[in-house]
Amino acid sequence: MSEPTREQEREMYRFLVRARALDVELVRWHRQGIIPGFPPSIGHEATQVGAAAAIDTGRDFVFPMYRELALALALGVDMRAYLANHNGDWNGGSFDPVAAHVTPIQAVVGSNGPHAVGWALGQRIDGRDGVALACIGDGGTSQGDTHEAMNFAGVWRLPVVFLVTNNQWAISVPVSQQVAGGSIAARAAGYGFPGVAVDGNDVLAVRAAVTDAVQRARDGGGPTLIESKIYRRGPHATSDDPGRYRTLDDERRDGGEDPVIRYRRSVRERGVIEESDVAEVDAEAARWVEEIRLHLTTLPPRGGEELFTDVYEELTEDLLEQRAAWEESTRA
């Protein structure tokens, strides 16, 4: 697999820093009442930015869950439209999934696996070489849909990469209480395709693993399960209270080195980025985050005009009647 260029490494570093800066601010904005809540991707950045670097959104398609902020960012999704999901503006986000080649944010754990399988099957029928990336958590591997998806993909040898981010926790339940047998990667053997475990705090290692899997899928080699081992460094979501199920000492011990700091150390040591650049990347990220804050805080009040559109291609008689009643109620 090809080594990343200097510029690609610098770009990955910028994405890591931006994602972290945005996550940290979003937690604050939640406390300030700017957004009702969201699940931070703190600790997931290296996995997500590394995976994004292996994906070609010109031909591949990504099926994320709800914690893929850094992935979406690195795939070029406009974060303002992405955050429409988390600020309560529109379910799934308001970005264009067709243009982005990223499906709307998925709330049902496990259900996106079969979607990736169906899309990949379509690629095969159409004789195209696109690869589907399905994002699943360690908790999500307990879902029947994840099993069904992997089984379908294995039986049909479809171009799907299952990226399972094992962040050790499903809300309050540790992975030991979620996954029997000790290894998620090992499960792939039962589906007849390779399973690899990767250090998900190492952005380059994830990029390499996903690139290999994508290439094999493109070449007709079928699916791969990648278990990216990381640690969820924050709460499950802004409403969560990790103090009920783990201590700060646990977090310090189990979390290991922060993936963003780790990559900064690496790019500094290898001379990919100069000390002066580090400060500039931080400043740039801060300016970018501030733009997003301005966007979120200056959104006009939401009218209800879109309530009835897009339920069906055309409004049904019932919906026309209900829309008329809604209009009347807004006048009264």
Partner 1 sequence: MTTTLRPAPGDTGSTVEILSVQQALNRALADELDADPRVLVFGEDVGVLGGVFRVTDGLQARFGSDRVFDTPLAESAILGTAVGLAIAGFRPVPEVQFDGFAYPAFDQIVSQVARYRYRSRGRLPMPITLRVPSYGGIRAPELHGESTEAFWAHVAGLKVVSPADAHDAYHLLRASIRSPDPVIFLEPKSRYWQKGPVDLGNSGGADGARIVRPGRHLTILSWGAMVDRSLKAAEVAAEDGVDTEVVDLRWLSPIDTATIVESVGRTRRAVVVHEAARTAGLGAEVATRISERLFDTLRAPVQRVTGYDVPTPSGALEDEQIPSVHRILLGMQRVLEYRRG
Ligand X SMILES: Cc1ncc(C[n+]2csc(CCOP(=O)(O)OP(=O)(O)O)c2C)c(N)n1
Q: Using the rule CB under 6 A, is 187 a contact of ligand X?
A: no
CA dihedral 292, 296, 297, 303 (to 10 degrees): 150
86 classed as catalytic: no
CA 135, 141, 144, 149 dihedral sign is positive
Out of 104, 137, 154, 223, which residue is the one contacting ligand X (CB under 6 A)? 137
Instruction: By CB under 6 A, tell whether 69 contacts ligand X.
Output: no
What is the rounded CA–CA span in Å between residue 280 and residue 161?
Answer: 35
91 binds ligand X (CB under 6 A): no
Pairing of strands 173-174, 169-170: antiparallel
Instruction: Give me Rg for the CA atoms of the chain.
Output: 21
Considering the rule CB under 6 A, would residue 86 count as an interface residue with ligand X? no
Member of 1, 99, 107, 294 binding ligand X (CB under 6 A): 107
Closest to 70 (Cα-Cα) out of 84, 87, 56, 53: 53
CA angle 166, 170, 173 (to 5 degrees): 115
Q: Can 268 be counted among the known catalytic residues?
A: no
Name residues contacting ligand X, limited to 251-290 (CB under 6 A): none
Single out the catalytic residue among 67, 232, 233, 264: 232
Q: Between residues 14 and 44, which has the closer beta carbon with respect to ligand X?
A: 44
Of 14, 236, 263, 264, which one is the catalytic site residue? 236
Concerning whether 231 is annotated as a catalytic residue, the answer is: no
Strand order across the beta sheet in which 224-229 lies: 61-63, 132-137, 160-166, 224-229, 195-199
Other Cβ atoms closer than 10 A to 125: 8
**Closest residue by beta carbon to ligand X:** 137
Across the chain, how many H-helices and E-strands are there? 13, 7
Within 8 A by CB and 6+ apart from 239, the residues are: 37
Residue 276: what residue type? S
**In this complex, which beta carbon is closest to ligand X, that of residue 130 or of residue 139?**
139
Query: Which CB, 67 or 264, lies closer to ligand X?
Result: 67
Among ligand X, partner 1, none, what does residue 297 contact (CB within 5–8 Å per kind)?
none
In the set 115, 147, 157, 245, the catalytic residue is 245
Residues 194-233 contacting ligand X, CB under 6 A: 232
138 makes contact with ligand X (CB under 6 A): yes
> Which residues contact partner 1 (rule: CB under 8 A)?
61, 63, 90-92, 94, 96-98, 103-104, 107-108, 111, 113-123, 125-126, 132, 144-145, 148-149, 151-152, 155, 306, 309-318, 320
Query: Which residues are tagged catalytic?
Result: 232, 236, 245
Q: Where on the chain is the footprint of ligand X (CB under 6 A)? A: 67, 107-110, 137-140, 167, 169-171, 232, 236
